[in-house]
Every structure is written in structure tokens, then in C-alpha cells.
Amino acid sequence: MKAFLLSLLIALTIFSCSKPSENGLQDVSATEFQKAIQSNASQQVLDVRTPDEFVGGHIAGAISADISSGAFQEVAGSLDKDKAVYVYCLSGGRSSQAAQLLVSMGFKDVYNLGGGILAWNAASLPLSTEEGAHSQQAGMTLAAFETQIKGKKKVIIDYNATWCGPCKTLSPILEAYVKDQKGAVELIKIDVDENPELAKAKNIEAIPYLELYQEGKLTWKNVGLIGREELNKL
């Protein structure tokens, strides 16, 4: 079963799903997601991030079901397939995979939080403060970020996360580009999991996300993977 789960995950897209309702699966906004789980008594809400991410702050009532481990299969197997189930992660990629797996398992009504916790935070919605859960670390503030880029002639900001596949693919491309610029461009990497306050202030809803600052001014930005050809045009 584990081998089947891993092979199916690889076959599924690593990007956030943006398709309309299909086979009982729907992507919904943060506010729609909140209203749906508040009005649904079944409370089958799955947080498919890692346990550490879950402890750092989660939607009230959610069940930890890490998509990268056997926990997901175990939790999903205990749910009622005839009742609605709601899934989310940090930016929507892992939860999209989880939602499609749930549909393949026979769940009839599956809702995926488009943009994940990043979108949830951007909408200023609350995370759980249940007893025993550690409060989420705010990390870098917007003011601290602005101080960090001040005075730099040209700097690329790479917003990423350790679990993000596309981020890992993009990282060596960025590093090679910056190295070839021989000091003319600086690269700063920021983990959105460790800096939720900054991610919220910038309304980051998907990663990888890149920004280019020249003399402290934002001159370019990009969401998703980008090739060396595009970087050479900067």
C-alpha cells in the first residue's frame, strides 16, 4: 500500500490545483473553507502537513495526517466516505495531492483549501490556540526584511519551504545564476514556514515565489518555477 501511495503521489501534479469541481473535488478560497467547516458538523478536516508544521499552528478541529507518511492513509481509512472531508497544507500543493487520493479512495465530497495556510493567513483567519499546541513563530517582520535589503544594488529573494518540490528544483538554478553574476547579484533565501508574519504581509499564497529588488525597490516578481533563460533577462 505504501508503494502504491508513493507512486500515485509522484504521478500527481506538484503544483496547486486550480481546476473546477471534478469527481466530487473542489478547490475553495480561505473564507469559503472556513464557512464550510464551521457549518459542517462532521468536522472531517485534515492537515496534511508534517507534525512539526501542525504543532506550529493549525486550523481548529483539524486532524494531523501527514501526506508524506503512513499517517495519511491511516487517518483517511478511519473517515466516513459519505461525509464531506476538508484538506489543507501550507500552499495547496500537498493538499491537492491528498484530495485527489481521497477521491480515488471513494470519498464523494472533498474540499481543498486553495493556497493553503498561506491564503488562510493572508485572509487574517485564526489558527488554533488549543492547549498543548505551540504558538507559531512569527519569524522575520516586514520592517526587518526592508532593513535587510536596504542599500543592496541587486538582490533576488527566494521564498521557499523545505518540503516544496519545485523550490528544490529551482534552488540550484538560482544559485548557478547568481554565481555567474560574480557578485553583481545577491541571493537571499527565506523559508515561509519559519517566517509566517512576512509571508502574510506580502500576501504570499504559493511558492516558489521570487522577487527582484534593485536599490531597495521591487522591480520584478515571479510565482512558480523559472528557467535560466528567464533569469538571464533580469
User: Which of 164, 207, 210, 231 is labelled catalytic?
Assistant: 164
Contact 84, 110 (CB under 8 A): yes
Distance, CA of 162 to CA of 217 (rounded, Å):
27
DSSP state of 123: T
User: Which of 89, 140, 167, 210 is labelled catalytic?
Assistant: 167
Contact 210, 221 (CB under 8 A): yes
User: Annotated catalytic, 164?
Assistant: yes
> How is the beta sheet containing 63-64 ordered, strand by strand?
25-28, 110-113, 85-88, 45-47, 63-64
Q: What are phi and psi of 185, to 5 degrees?
A: -130, 135
- Active site members: 164, 167
